[in-house]
Structure 1
C-alpha cells in the first residue's frame, strides 16, 4: 500500500520524538484531519483511531506509525460498524469511527480518511497513551469452585475493572446519565466479537490496551463506557468490561440493536486471517458457559432478539453485514457452542432450577441475577421472586413486600438466615418463616415487621 497511501489527499504527519519512559502519564489527544496535509508533533502514544461525523458513508481509513525511528507499512483501519448502543437506548453515539488499533509505543503517525467525495470533513486522528500501572504485570488471583451437577458452571477467574485500572470518573464524561449502569431484563444470548487489533501484544500490555479502548469508546465515540461486557486475551485471561457487576445483566454497547438481553464477549486481536489460540477459545467458552448456565439458557438453542431468530451463541456478523468477529473465529463458533454445552453438562439440574420449573417461569419471570453463591447458600433473582437454596433449608422464595424487606435486610443475612417456608396467609395478614426469625405482614398497617426467634 506504500505508493497508493502517499497519494491519499488527507494526510497527517507527526514528527518523531524521544519516547517517554513506560511510566508515562495517560494522555488523550485528537488531531484534526482538515486539510490536504497537516503536520503536528505529538508525545508517544499506544493506541490510534480515526473518527468522523455521524452519517458519512463509504469511509476508507488508513494509518501507519513511527516506532524506534522507523515507519511501519500502511495499514487499513477496520470500520467500527454496527457496534455501539441500541438505537432505543438513551446512551448516545457522538461520532462514527474505526476500531482502535494498538501500536505499542509510537512517536509518529500518518493517517487518512477518504470516501468517494474526497477528504472526509471534520475527521480526527485520536492518539491515546494509556500509561503503565504497577498492576499491569499482576495476574488474576483467587480460586474457582469446582463445577458439579448440582451447581451452575463457576465464574472463571477474571481481571476486575479495578485490577486493569479503569478510571471510573471517565463514566461521567458524557453526562450524569452515564454514571449509573443500565441493566437489561435477563440474559438470553452471547455475542462473540473480535477487536480487530494486533495479535502480537504481550501479557503486560493487555491492561493498557483495555484502558485505551475504554477511553476511545467514551471520549471518541461518545458512549457511556467500554462497549463490551467481557474481553479475553490471547493468553486466555478474562477481563471485566462494562461497569455494573459481572454477574448482572449489564446493558452493553457491543451489537447495535441487539444489546438488550444479551452480553458481548470480545477477543482481543484480529481473527480474519489468523486462527484464535486454544487458550483464548477455552476461556471464551468458560465465560459463556458461566453466564448461560446461571440464567438457564442452552448454548444449542435459538431465541428471538429484535425480531430476528438467532442462536444463543452468535457471532456479530449474524446480526448485520460486518466482518466481526473475523472469519477464522466465526468458523470456530460450532466448536464453541459444543464446548459450552459440555462445560454446562448438557442440562440444568440445580435445586433452584427444579423449584422454578415447579412454580412455572411464567409466574417467576426471567432470571435477572442468575444463580450465584451467597454467604449461606445459593440464590437466583427472578422478575417477580427471589429463590434461595441451601442443603439445610431446601429451595424457597420471597416475593412482593417480603422480598423488598428481605433485600433491605441483606438477603441471606446471618441475622435472619434463609427462608424455610414461602409466605402464607394467616388471620390478619401473612407471614414467612426464616431460619432465625419471621417476616410478618400486618393487614392493618400494611407493613412488613421483623420478628426474631424460632417460634411466633
Structure 2
C-alpha cells in the first residue's frame, strides 16, 4: 500500500459534483416511502431558563437555537410512566454538520431559510413530559431557543431481523457488508425536499480519502427493535430541526453490530455528508449509535465498523494505516472526529479503539492492493486517470472502478481495459457492462478517419464525419 497516489499519502482538492453530471450511475429509487404510523414533530419555545410541559408521547428530544449563538449549556429531563428522570446534559456540538463553504438548508425556497445551531438529539424511548434548559455561559436565556420533540412512529419492519439486505459479494476487493437500506429503516424520502429543492439531489465529492468515526452521544440501552425508529428520528432532527438536507452521517452502526445506510445518494459512491464540518469533502462518516465517553463500544459494534471501513477504503485503494492531507490538515486515513476540532466526539472509550480499528481494517483488506483493476490503473498512471470516484465494485460479469477520466473494467475472459472520453460517455449510456455489448476487450485505438473500441459482442465507433460514437453489434473477431 505504499503507492504515493493511493497509499501512504494523498492530497486532493475537494470537488463537489451533482448527480446530473454522473448519469448513469447506480439507480437510486425516488418513489417516496410512506411515513411511519403515528408520527409527530413539535417545537416548544424555551422562553425562560427552564420550561416544563406535559406532552403527547414522543421518542427523541433535542434543543435548537438560531445559528451563531456560542457557549450554550443545555440539559433535559423527561417523564416516563409518571416519573421524572434526573437531569441529563445534552451535548452541544456545532462541528457536526455541513461544510461552511457548502451550507445546507439555506436555499431561498427553504421554509426557515437558515441553518440552526443545536444539541445532539437524545433518544428517550416513550416519554410523556419534558423539562428543558438552555442558557449561555453568562446564565442568560437564548432568544429563539426551542426544544424539539419527535415521535418517529412504528413500522412493521422495525422488528424484522431480515431488514438486512444481501449486498455485493466476491473475493476482491473486500465485500460490502450486510446493510439496512434507507427503505428498510423507513426513510421518508419526501423529507429531503423540506429545506429546498436543492437538497433533493445528492451531492458528491470527487473521491474517498478518509473516514471519520463518530458517536451519536445517545443512550446505550436501546433495544434492537428501537433502532430503526431512532434513525428515523435522527433523520428528522437533522433535516427539520438543524436545517440540513438529509441525515448527516453516511453510515450508522448499532450496538448489536448492524450497519445502517445513512445519507441518500448511493452507499458505494462518495456522497457528500454533513458529519465533520470543514472535512466532509472526500471523506465519509460512520456514527456508532450510543455514548462512548465512559462506556466501551461492544465487540460486535467495533467489528461491523471495521468491515464498513475496510469495504470503503479497499474499494478506493486507501491504506487504513496511512496519513492524508484533508481540509489543510494531515490526518490518519481513519480518524476520530476530535482529530479535527476540540470536541469530545467520538467519546474517549471509542477514540482509544481507533488504533485497533486501523489494524483490524488492514487485516481485513489483506495488507495490500492486488486486484487486476488496481494493477492496470497503476500501469496507466494515477496522475493520468485521476482518483477513483465509484470504487472497485462487481459488474454483471466482472469488476470495475470509475476514475476521474477513465473507467477500468476487468473479467477473466477479457482482462483489464478502460473506456475514456466520448467512448466512456456512450458506454455508460448503454449501461456499462451491459449483457448485450459486453465488456471491453481493447482500449480505444485510432483508425483512418476516426477511432474504435472492441467489446465482447460489438464495437463503439467514432468517425470524424459525424463526430458521434455509434454502437455496432456483432462478432469482434
For 2:179, what is the secondary structure of its paired residue?
coil
Matched residue SS, 2:203: coil
Of 87-96 and 333-342, more deviation after overlay is shown by 87-96
Match of 1:359 in 2: 380
CA contact (8 A) 2:123 2:230 kept: yes
How many residue pairs get aligned? The number is 432
Is 1:70 the counterpart of 2:79? The answer is: no
Per-residue deviation, 1:399: 0.2
Q: Distance in 2 between matches of 1:146 and 1:376?
A: 13
Distance 2:399 2:238 in 1: 36
Runs (4 or more) in structure 1 with deviation over 6 Å come to: none
Tell me the residue number matched to 2:181. Answer: 160
Task: Specify which of 227, 239, 263 is matched with residue 218 of structure 1.
Answer: 239
More displaced stretch, 95-104 vs 117-126 = 117-126
Q: Deviations over 1:350-393 (max 9, x none)?
A: 00000001000011110000000011111100000001111100
Q: Which of the pair has more CA radius of gyration?
A: 1
Displacement after TM superposition at 1:55 (Å)? 1.4
Aligned to 2:204, what secondary structure does the other structure show?
coil
Identify the range of structure 1 (212-221 vs 82-91) with the bigger mean alpha-carbon deviation.
Answer: 82-91
Pick the aligned partner of 2:214 from 163, 177, 193. Answer: 193
Q: Is the 8 A contact 2:216 2:287 kept in 1?
A: yes
- Partner SS, residue 252 of structure 1: coil
Please, which of 304, 312, 336 is the counterpart of residue 325 of structure 2?
304
Q: CA deviation at 1:35?
A: 3.1
Offset of residue 327 of structure 1: 0.1
How do residues 21-40 of structure 1 correspond to structure 2 at under 5 angstroms?
A: 25-35=38-48, 38=51, 40=53
Q: Give, in angstroms, the shift of residue 81 of structure 1.
A: 2.4
Q: Which residue pairs with 1:444 in the alignment?
A: 465
Q: Within 1, Cα distance between the matches of 2:338 and 2:169?
A: 34
2:55 aligns with one of 42, 45, 54: 42
Given that 2:454 and 2:476 are in contact with CA atoms closer than 8 Å, whether structure 1 keeps it comes out as no
77-86 or 274-283: which moved more?
Answer: 77-86
Distance 1:455 1:143 in 2: 36
CA contact (8 A) 1:51 1:220 kept: yes
Measured in 1, the distance between the counterparts of 2:351 and 2:165 equals: 32
Question: Does 1:290 pair with 2:303?
Answer: no
- 1:306-358 deviations in whole A, cap 9, x for unaligned? 11000000000000000000000000000000000000000000000000010
Q: Counterpart of 2:474?
A: 453
Could you tell me how far 1:142 is from its partner in structure 2?
Answer: 4.6
Q: CA deviation at 1:146?
A: 5.9
1:455 Cα deviation after fit: 4.0
User: What SS class does the counterpart of residue 404 from structure 1 fall into?
Assistant: helix
Match of 2:64 among 51, 61, 82: 51
1:269 to 290, 294, 300: 290
Mark the CA change 1:248 to 1:452 in structure 2 (over 3 Å): closer, same or farther: same
Q: Corresponding residue for 1:127?
A: 149
Q: Distance in 1 between matches of 2:54 and 2:167?
A: 48
What's the CA shift string for 1:130-153, capped at 9, x where partnerless? 0010000112345466663xx100
Residue of structure 2 in register with 1:110 after alignment: 131
Q: Do residues 86 (structure 1) and 92 (structure 2) align?
A: no
**Is this contact kept in 2: 1:317–1:323, CA < 8 A?**
yes
Question: Please, what is the CA RMSD of the aligned residues?
Answer: 1.3
Query: Per-residue displacement from partner, 1:11-41 (whole Å, max 9, x unpaired)?
Result: xxxxxxxxxxxx8511000000013565544
1:423 maps to 2:444: yes
Task: Tell me if structure 1 keeps the 8 A contact 2:261–2:267.
Answer: yes
Q: 1:19 matched to which residue of 2? A: none
**How far did 1:177 drift?**
0.1
Separation (CA, whole Å) in 2 of partners of 1:278 and 1:42: 38
Q: Which moved more, 1:440-449 or 1:197-206?
A: 440-449
The residue number in structure 2 matching 1:349 is 370
Please say if 1:250 is aligned against 2:263: no
What is the SS of the residue equivalent to 1:276?
A: coil
Query: Normalized against structure 1, the TM-score is what?
Result: 0.93
**Residue of structure 1 in register with 2:337 after alignment:** 316
Q: Which moved more, 1:116-125 or 1:151-160?
A: 116-125
Q: Is the 8 A contact 2:51 2:133 kept in 1?
A: no
| Runs (5+) with no aligned partner, structure 1 | 1-22
Q: Match of 2:452, SS? A: strand
C-alpha change, 1:41 and 1:69, in structure 2 (3 Å) is closer
The equivalent residue for 1:18 is: none
Instruction: Return the TM-score normalized by structure 2.
Output: 0.89
The CA distance in 1 between the partners of 2:286 and 2:416, in whole Å, is 32
CA distance in 2, matches of 1:80, 1:354: 43
